[in-house]
Structure 1
Amino acid sequence: MRKSLFTLALSALIGFNANAQQVEFTEFDLDNGLHVILHQDNSAPVVITSVMYDVGGKDLGGKPETGLRTGFAHFFEHLLFEGSENIERGEFMKIIPANGGTFNANTSQDRTYYYEIFPSNKLELGLWLESERMLHPVIDQVGVDTQNEVVKEEKRQRYDAPYGKALEEISKNLFNVHPYKYPNIGYMEDLDASTLEEFYDYFKNYYGPNNAVLIVAGDFDTAETKELVKQYFSEVKSRPVPERNFPMEEPITETIKAQAYDPNIQVPAIIATYRTPGFGTRDAYILDMISSYLSGGKSSVLYKKIVDEQKQALAVQAINLGQMDYNVFALFAIPMGEVTLDTLLDEMDEEIAKMQTELISERDHQKLINQFENQFVNSNSSVEGIAGSLATYYLLYDNVNLINEEIEIYRSITREEIRDVAKKYLSPNQRVELEYLPKKDEE
C-alpha cells in the first residue's frame, strides 16, 4: 500500500559505509520469458523469494467500450492471496507463518511486488507459492467480494486519515490525461461495478511470466536453485506483453491554483506541486538531492528556518515522489497559529529562489553526498533490501547494475547542476498551488 505523504519524505540515516561490498548476482531467462535474478548470500540461514510484476495503478482495468476501472493492480495485490487450484481459500497466508516465514506485498503506480522471507530450508516452498500465484490462482466471486471489503477498510484506515487524501488531490490536479491522475487504491465505485470477466482479463493481460521478474536472495545453492526455478515456473505459459501508450502531459506554463477539502483535519496545509521527469533520468536524481537539501532532517534549510527559528510551521517538507513516467516534486507545509498559507509559500519560494541563483555551499554539497551514500548502503544492508532493489532496478530502470552503480550518479552531481535543475523545474509558473483545507462550512 502507498505510504503517506509524510512518510515518503522521511528516511532513516544510519550505518554509513562508503566502501560497501559489491552486490553479486546471476541472471537468466526461462523459455516462457520469466527473468530470474539470484543473489547468493550464505551469511545467515534466510532466503527471500519475490516476484515483481510490471503492472501498477496506472494500468486501468475494464474495457474502453464499457468503462475503464481504477484500482485494479492494488486490488490484485490482495486478490492473489486468496488461493489457487492447489491452495485452499485463506490458506496462502497461513502456510507461510506455519513454516517460520513472513510475507508482504505492495503496489505503486508502476509495479506490484510480492515477497516471502523463509528459513533457507524452505526455499522450495517459497518458489512453489509464487508459481501457484502466477500459474493458476482462483479468481471467483467469493474472493472478489471478500477483497472488496478488505480494500474498503484499508481506504478508511489510510486514505480517510488526516491528510491521507493529499496525494490523491495532488495527482488529480497535477495530471490531466495521464492515468497517474487516479489514486493507486482506485475509486470504490469502480471496484463495485467490475465484473468477473474484467478481473480474468486483467490477470491474463498483466500477470504472465514475461511481464515479471523473479528474485531469489539469501542462503541457497545457485545450481540447485536454478533447477528448482525451472521446475516450478517453466510450466507457466507466456502471454502477449501488454502494450502501453499513455498520453503525454502538456507542460505547465502558468500557476494553477486549486483547493481541496478534508473533513478529517483541523489545520490547513499549503502544497506546491511540480510535474518533473520520471525516475532514472539524471534530473530526477538531482531533484532527489534538492528535496533532501530543503527538508532532509532538522538541520535542513526549510526545517531550520520555518519550523525551528521562525516558528511559522508545524511541519514542512520537500518531497520528490519517484514514478516511471513523471515524478511529483512537492513542497508541503502546515502553518503555526495565525500564520497564513501564503506566508509559508513565500518563505519556501525564497529558499528555492536562492538555489536558482546561488550555489549551495561546498559543505552542504558534501553533506548531501554523505546522506545519499548512507541511504544507498542502508538499502542494501539486508537480503530483503537487496531483493527489492534487484527487482526494481531490472523492471523499472532496465539496469540491474544500478544496485552497485547508482551511488556514483549521486556522487557526480555538481553544485552547478543543483542550481540549474532548480531553475529549470521549480519556478512558480510551473506548478499547482493546492490549498488543503478543513471541511467547508455548510452554507
Structure 2
Amino acid sequence: MNQPNCGRAIFNFSQRLSVMLYRMFVTLLTLAFLWSALLPEVALAQTTAPPAPTSKTPTSIQPYLDRVIKQLTEFRLDNGLKFIVLERHQAPVVSFLTYADVGGVDEPDGKTGVAHFLEHLAFKGTKRIGTKDYNAEKPLLDRLEQLDTQIRAAKAAGKTEELAKLQAEFDRVELQATKLSKQNEMGQIVEQAGGVGLNANTSTEATRYFYSFPANKLELWMSLESERFLEPVLSRDFYKEKEVILEERRLRVENSPIGLMIEKFIDAAYKVHPYRRPVIGYDQDIRNLTPDDVQKFFNNYYVPSNLAIAIVGDVNPNEVKRLAQIYFGRFPAKTKAVQPIPTEPPQAQTREVTVELPSQPWYLEGYHRPAVTHPDNAVYEIIAGLLSNGRTSRLYKSLVEQKRLALAAQGFSGFPGDKYPNLMLFYALTAPGHTVDELAAGLRTEIDKLKTEPVTDAELQRVKTQARADLLRTLDSNMGMAQQLLEYEVKTGSWRNLFKQLDEIAAVTAADVQRVAKASFTAENRTIGKLLSKQG
C-alpha cells in the first residue's frame, strides 16, 4: 500500500498466533496473501525455529503490561470518542491511528463495497482541503450526480442518442470540477510536514486510517484528522474513484483464479452471515453506488461513539487531551446506526465448491470456529501455529518437505474476520505432478493427528515461545502498538486483553488442543474448495 487511498487491507500473517491484527477480508486482503504464497518468501518464512525455552523464560507478560499501564492514558470525550495515548519518548516521532468500528459486515444489502469506497474518498479532502473554490465546485459535483442518474435511466431505456449527449455533458462537467480540485492536497500537507505512511485499510469489521508525524506536529494532525471526518467532501472524484475500485476488483478477483476461488469458497462456507460477501463489493453493487449512498453510510457509522484513536510516541497526554477537546470535541454526539448481523446457523454437512480455470491447482479447507472473545480462542491460535507457523510447522514439514505434494501449505485462524464466529482456513498449492485430492488426504492426515495424538510438550512450548516473540516484535514499533491496542480495545472491550491473550496462550495444554480439534475438525463442519487446472 504505497498510495494513500489504494484501499487494500494489510494482513500481518507472521503474527497470526499472538494477535488478531488485521483479520480483514476485503477479498483482496486475503487474496493478496494467498498470491504471496506463490513466492519463495512464504514457503521459506521462519527458516529457523524459535529458541528453546529455558528456566529463565518468563511465564507471564505482566511486567511488560505493568510498564505499559504506567505510560498509558485513556480518556473519552463528552461526545463519546475514545482516545488511547501511550508515551514513548525514545525518539521524537508519533504514530496515529483512527479506528472506525465499521466494515463490510455493516453494509446494507445491495450496497456491498460502500465501506471500502468511503475509505478511498476519505483522502479526497474537505470543504477547505482539496479544493480551490468549494463554492464553485459544489454545484458541479451536484450536477454530476444528477447526470449520472439520467445516464443510468437512458441506458436502461436503450436511448442511445440521449445517452451520448448526457455522457458528453458529464465529461465536460467532470473536467470543470477536476480543475477546481487540488489533487492529493492532504497527502502533500502531510509529506511537507515530515509525515510518513499516510494510508488506510478496510476489513470485514473495521476501517483504519493511519500515519506518523514528527512529535512537534501533534496539533497539525489534530487539525487534519478532525476536519477529515467533520466535513469530508465524499462526492469529489467519486466517479473516477469508482473506476479505480472496479479495476482493483478486476485485477484481484475477475482476472485472478485464486481470487475467484476465494470468493466462491467463502460464499459456500457462509449462508446468511455477511462474512460471505467480499469487502471490495460485488461488481454490480460498486457500479450502482452513488455519492448519496456513501454519505448516508458515513452519517450512520462515522459518529464519535463509533470511533477510537490511538496515539503512540513522544507526546504529553495532557496536551493530547487539551487538543482533542478543541478539535474532536467539535463533533456532535450521535447514535450509531445498527445493522442487524444475522447469526450463521451450524453447518450440518460438508460443503464443496470446485472451479476450473487456467491456474496451478489449489486446495482449500475451512472449519467454523467461534469469535475472538470465546474462551478457546487461544487454543485455536495454538492449533494454527502447530500446523502452519513456518518451516517447523507440521503442514510444511509433511506436505512440502517430506511428501513434496505442495509448493506451499499453510493455514490461519480468523478468516475472513474474527469479531464474529469465523473460519480456520487451510490452503495448499499443488506441486507439479500431484493433485488436489492428494493434498486433501495429506492435510487431513495432519489434522486428524491433532485429534488422536497428544501434542508433545516440546512442540507446544516452541509454538508458545514463537507467539510471545511475534507479539513483542509487533509492539516494538509505535504503529504496531497503536494497531494492537485498538484491535483489542474495540473487539474485546479492553486493550488489556492484548496482554491477557498471551497468558492464555501460555496456559493452553495438549488436552485443550485435542479437545478443540475433535470438536471442530469434523466432516459436518468442513468446507472444501478445489481450484483445478482447466485443460486447453
SS in 2 for 1:396: helix
- For residue 440 of structure 1, report the CA deviation from its aligned partner: 7.1
- Contact 2:96-2:479 at 8 Å conserved across structures: no
- For residue 134 of structure 1, report the CA deviation from its aligned partner: 1.3
- Percent sequence identity over matched residues? 31
> What aligned pairs does 1:326-341 form with structure 2 within 5 A after superposition?
326-341=421-436
Which deviates further from its counterpart, 236-245 or 110-119?
236-245
- Contact 2:361-2:435 at 8 Å conserved across structures: no
- State which of 81, 91, 97 in structure 2 corresponds to 1:44: 91
Q: Deviations over 1:109-135 (max 9, x none)?
A: 000000120111111111212101210
> What aligned pairs does 1:42-441 form with structure 2 within 5 A after superposition?
42-61=89-108, 68-88=110-130, 89=182, 90-102=184-196, 103-140=198-235, 142-159=236-253, 160-161=255-256, 163-263=258-358, 265=359, 267-321=360-414, 322-439=417-534
Q: Sort the Cα spacing of 1:421 and 1:438 in 2 relative to 1 into closer, same or farther, 3 A.
A: same
What corresponds to 2:134 in structure 1? none
Q: Sort the Cα spacing of 1:320 and 1:362 in 2 relative to 1 into closer, same or farther, 3 A.
A: same
CA distance in 2, matches of 1:434, 1:295: 18
Q: Deviations over 1:300-323 (max 9, x none)?
A: 111111110111111111221342
Which deviates further from its counterpart, 1-10 or 424-433?
1-10
CA distance in 2, matches of 1:435, 1:110: 27
CA distance in 1, matches of 2:243, 2:370: 36
Q: Sort the Cα spacing of 1:423 and 1:257 in 2 relative to 1 into closer, same or farther, 3 A.
A: same
In terms of Rg, which structure is larger? 2
What corresponds to 1:6 in structure 2? 34
Which deviates further from its counterpart, 18-27 or 345-354?
18-27
Superposition TM-score, scaled by structure 1 size: 0.92
- State which of 60, 79, 82 in structure 2 corresponds to 1:32: 79
- For residue 175 of structure 1, report the CA deviation from its aligned partner: 0.6
RMSD: 2.2
- Contact 1:49-1:123 at 8 Å conserved across structures: no
CA distance in 2, matches of 1:312, 1:440: 21
- The aligned amino acid for 1:40 is E
SS in 1 for 2:404: coil
Q: Sort the Cα spacing of 1:182 and 1:8 in 2 relative to 1 into closer, same or farther, 3 A.
A: farther
- Contact 1:80-1:137 at 8 Å conserved across structures: yes
Which deviates further from its counterpart, 154-163 or 171-180?
154-163
Q: Sort the Cα spacing of 1:435 and 1:220 in 2 relative to 1 into closer, same or farther, 3 A.
A: same
- The aligned amino acid for 2:202 is T
What corresponds to 1:64 in structure 2? none
CA distance in 2, matches of 1:54, 1:251: 26
Q: Deviations over 1:71-107 (max 9, x none)?
A: 1111111111110112114211221111111211111
Greater strand proportion = 1
- Contact 1:134-1:209 at 8 Å conserved across structures: no
SS in 1 for 2:78: coil
Which deviates further from its counterpart, 243-252 or 377-386?
243-252
Greater helix proportion = 2
- For residue 7 of structure 1, report the CA deviation from its aligned partner: 7.5
Question: Unmatched 5+ residue regions in structure 2?
Answer: 1-7, 9-28, 52-56, 131-181
Q: Sort the Cα spacing of 1:121 and 1:157 in 2 relative to 1 into closer, same or farther, 3 A.
A: farther
CA distance in 1, matches of 2:36, 2:209: 20
SS in 1 for 2:106: coil
- Contact 2:118-2:234 at 8 Å conserved across structures: no
Question: Unmatched 5+ residue regions in structure 1?
Answer: 62-66
